[in-house]
Amino acid sequence: MNPQNKLSRRRFVQMAVLSAGGLSVFARCTKAYSDWRFFTGSEAKLMDALADQIIPPDDWPGGKESGVTNFIDKQLIGPYIRFQDTYRKGLNGIRESCKVLYQNSFESLDFDEQTHFLELMEDGKLTGDLWAGNFDRTFFKLFRDHSMQAYYGSSRHGGNKDNISYKMLKLDYPLIIGQNRYQN
Amino acid sequence: MRQHSKLHKLIIPVIILFLVVITAFGSFYGYWDSASPSKTCSSCHEITSSVEILAESPHRNLACKECHGTAFSNGMHSLKEKGKMIFEHINGRSDEDIRLNEAQILEVMNNCTRCHKTEQARWLSGGHSARYKDIFLNEKHNKTEQLNFDCLRCHGMFSDLNIGELIGPLNTSGPWKIKINSTESNPVIPCLACHQIHLLGSTHQNPDYSNPQNASYNRITHNPVVSFYNRHDKTHIPAENLPLLEVWDCNRPVNVSSDPIMRNCIQCHAPNGKHEAGTSDDRTPRGVHEGFSCTACHDPHSNDARQSCAKCHPAVSHCKLDVTTMNTSYKDRQSPHNIHWVSCTDCHINGRPLNRQKR
């Protein structure tokens, strides 16, 4: 067995107890089917619009088509579980602010209006309790960084669909490099 | 005496508890092992997308356990993996990436050969059926090039071990030994190196015979069958998403076939880091065969290229020579004219055959 895969006794007991408990509650696991893991359907639509603002489509697919929302959704129930509340609060803030400023949802705004709104966010100029403590700037930076990670990271994490950014950058991925050869 | 009665009092509840747990767990396990996947494994939210892909693939009739095993097969791996999924689930996290270990991969391979016997026979007859001992105990190779982690990219890509745990010593003097004997005869390039089970596809159906001439136009125009297993990411990349090789013959870009299967071949039969044609293990066709895909001549499973000339050539070439008897590496391994890059000018210098120029 791979030494890296060795289980400690404590970890084994922990997992065995939880597994047994988990098995007994399986029958009651009746969570409604959703296309998304963490986001609601409307949050996912908003995320798609935000992703296309951060990485606008041109000759190459943008943030939405390259799976930015899928990446963030996947990470939020994994390594980025600590950002769940931030996203829920931030997306709600965008929804509410757009209602006040434009009487419309962010997704329904035209592209330039969306850009303008995000510029206000980036500069920390949105007002209201929802954005107290420069949360607008913090949240903008967070989803911008996560969008970049999605677009340029490995597709195994849920973004960069079909390795699209690597193709755009003409990057060999996986790396094409042969072994050294010698005369037989 | 008092100790003895205390022990008695403890033993009976423990036995009862043990029997209850065994009965409950046994009944649950029996149900889980026999019920339809839609009522068991695939009812988990975490693996919905994998289940959906499988449902559309040609392998949709395979039950999950046929490849992934049961909780108790493959030693601790399955139990650990499934336990981890439940642990994560209860903690509000999700672990949807199920990875097979090497033992499971070899079991999957046994399943593949239940139906794909012809492919198995061809694979066995070719170079890709090499075993760990064939690759890693080759003295000549090991003395010339030191074993390193990157060997496992193309040979032993599913190994649960890293190169140092698999073989030693890691130097060019040897003697080398595979550290775990049971691994020696395992194949280093199993079916799943180039194929995946959860492949995208569409259900097969008969063509519309009311207009047979349209049958070929209704076929899919992409090739979902081949996928490269990327050890680094522990995931398959469909061949169509693999990069198209740019290779240079001095300053000239070589025309490379865009065939997805060839992109898969190139992942291992690759040129050096500068992508110079003919370096390292590159066999990208140039010369008279430039632009050809590997599969134009080689069978994908056996790699056999014998009899392939007839696919394109008339028996006799423009030179009025049988192409299979010309002085190339197709006929003779020692020939200076490698069939992968033989060019007209190898023989026809200044437009004239070499033998006539001497006159």
Contacts with A157 from chain B: Cβ below 8 Å = none
Domain boundary among B147, B178, B193: B193
Position A6 in a domain: no
Number of domains in chain A: 1
The complex's ipTM?
Answer: 0.73
Asked if residue B176 and residue B138 are part of one domain, the reply reads: yes
Cα-Cα-Cα-Cα dihedral sign, residues A42, A161, B226, B131? negative
Question: Would an 8 Å CB–CB cutoff place B329 in contact with chain A?
Answer: no
Instruction: Compare CB distances from B87 to A15, A166, A178 and report the shortest one's residue.
Output: A15
User: Are residues B136 and B167 in contact, defined by beta-carbon separation less than 8 angstroms?
Assistant: yes
**DSSP output for B329-342:** TTT-TT-SS-TTT-
Contacts with A174 from chain B: Cβ below 8 Å = 153, 228, 230, 232-233, 237, 242, 267
CA angle A83, A86, A92 (to 5 degrees): 140
For chain B, the C-alpha Rg in angstroms (whole number) is: 27
Position B31 in a domain: no
User: Are residues B152 and B165 in contact, defined by beta-carbon separation less than 8 angstroms?
Assistant: no
Using the beta-carbon criterion (under 8 Å), do B89 and A172 form an inter-chain contact? Answer: no
| Amino acid, res. B128 | H
DSSP SS3 for A126: coil
Residue B253: strand pairing partners: B248
Asked if residue B110 and residue B172 are part of one domain, the reply reads: yes
Confidence band of A32 (pLDDT split at 50, 70, 90): low
Average pLDDT over residues B76-99: 77
State the smallest CA–CA distance between residue A72 and chain B in angstroms.
Answer: 13
Position A163 in a domain: yes
Position B254 in a domain: no
Position A102 in a domain: yes
Average pLDDT over residues B211-229: 80
Contacts with A77 from chain B: Cβ below 8 Å = 92-94
Contacts with A180 from chain B: Cβ below 8 Å = 145, 280
Burial of B5 (0-12, 13-18, 19+ CB in 10 A): exposed
Chain B nearest-CA residue for A4: B161
User: Are residues A109 and A94 in contact, defined by beta-carbon separation less than 8 angstroms?
Assistant: no
Neighbours of A65 (CB within 10 A): 16
Domain boundary among B171, B193, B215: B193
Which of B272, B274, B279 has the most A C-beta neighbours within 10 Å, making it the best mutation to test the interface with A? B272
Confidence band of A98 (pLDDT split at 50, 70, 90): very high
Cα-Cα-Cα-Cα dihedral sign, residues A53, A59, A63, A64? positive
pLDDT over threshold 60, residue B241: yes
- What's the domain range around B133? 104-193
Position B4 in a domain: no
Average pLDDT over residues B264-273: 92
Confidence band of B3 (pLDDT split at 50, 70, 90): low
pLDDT over threshold 90, residue A50: yes
Which range, of A55-64, B91-100, B167-176, averages the lowest pLDDT? B91-100
The span from the CA of B183 to the CA of B159, in Å, is 9
Residue with tokens 């490269």: B228
Cα-Cα-Cα-Cα dihedral sign, residues B107, B109, B112, B113? negative
Contacts of residue B175, Cβ cutoff 8 Å, sequence gap at least 6: none
pLDDT over threshold 80, residue B17: yes
Contacts with B145 from chain A: Cβ below 8 Å = 179-180, 182
Asked if residue B133 and residue B72 are part of one domain, the reply reads: no
DSSP secondary structure letter of residue B227: E
- What's the domain range around A49? 41-168
Hey, which residues 228-287 in chain B have their CB within 8 Å of chain A?
A: 228, 230, 232-235, 237-238, 241-243, 245-246, 266-273, 275, 279-282
Residue with tokens 């596809």: B201
DSSP SS3 for B14: helix
Position B150 in a domain: yes
Confidence band of B30 (pLDDT split at 50, 70, 90): confident
Contacts of residue B196, Cβ cutoff 8 Å, sequence gap at least 6: B227, B229, B236
Residue B272 CA neighbour count, 13 Å, CB half = 10
What the block records as the tokens of A40 is 């609601």
Residue B353: strand pairing partners: B348
Run of H or E including B86: helix B76-90
Question: Would an 8 Å CB–CB cutoff place B47 in contact with chain A?
Answer: no
Using the beta-carbon criterion (under 8 Å), do A171 and B243 form an inter-chain contact? Answer: yes
Cα-Cα-Cα-Cα dihedral sign, residues B58, B63, B65, B66? negative
| Residue length of chain B | 359
Neighbours of A132 (CB within 10 A): 9
> Cis ω on the peptide bond leading into residue B187 (within 30° of 0)?
no
The span from the CA of A77 to the CA of A143, in Å, is 16
User: Are residues A153 and A166 in contact, defined by beta-carbon separation less than 8 angstroms?
Assistant: no
Asked if residue B126 and residue B84 are part of one domain, the reply reads: no
User: Are residues A91 and A47 in contact, defined by beta-carbon separation less than 8 angstroms?
Assistant: yes
Average pLDDT over residues B346-358: 66
3-state per-residue secondary structure call for B37-78:
HHHCHHHCHHHHHHHHHHHHCCCCCCCHHHHHCCCCCCCHHH
pLDDT over threshold 60, residue A1: no
Confidence band of B68 (pLDDT split at 50, 70, 90): confident
pLDDT over threshold 50, residue A2: no
Using the beta-carbon criterion (under 8 Å), do A37 and B94 form an inter-chain contact? Answer: yes
Instruction: Compare CB distances from B161 to A2, A22, A176 and report the shortest one's residue.
Output: A2
Position A79 in a domain: yes
Instruction: Compare CB distances from A180 to B86, B160, B280 and report the shortest one's residue.
Output: B280
Which range, of A6-10, A136-140, B60-64, B74-78, averages the lowest pLDDT? A6-10
What the block records as the tokens of A18 is 């939880």
Position A7 in a domain: no
Position B129 in a domain: yes
Number of domains in chain B: 3
DSSP secondary structure letter of residue B307: T
Position B184 in a domain: yes
The span from the CA of B309 to the CA of B128, in Å, is 22
Question: Would an 8 Å CB–CB cutoff place B72 in contact with chain A?
Answer: no
Q: Rounded to whole angstroms, what are the CA distances from A174 to A83, B153, B222, B242?
A: 31, 10, 21, 7
Contacts with A29 from chain B: Cβ below 8 Å = 43-44
State the smallest CA–CA distance between residue B153 and chain A in angstroms.
Answer: 10
The span from the CA of A88 to the CA of A94, in Å, is 10
CA angle B246, B247, B252 (to 5 degrees): 110
Q: What are phi and psi of A107, to 5 degrees?
A: -65, -30
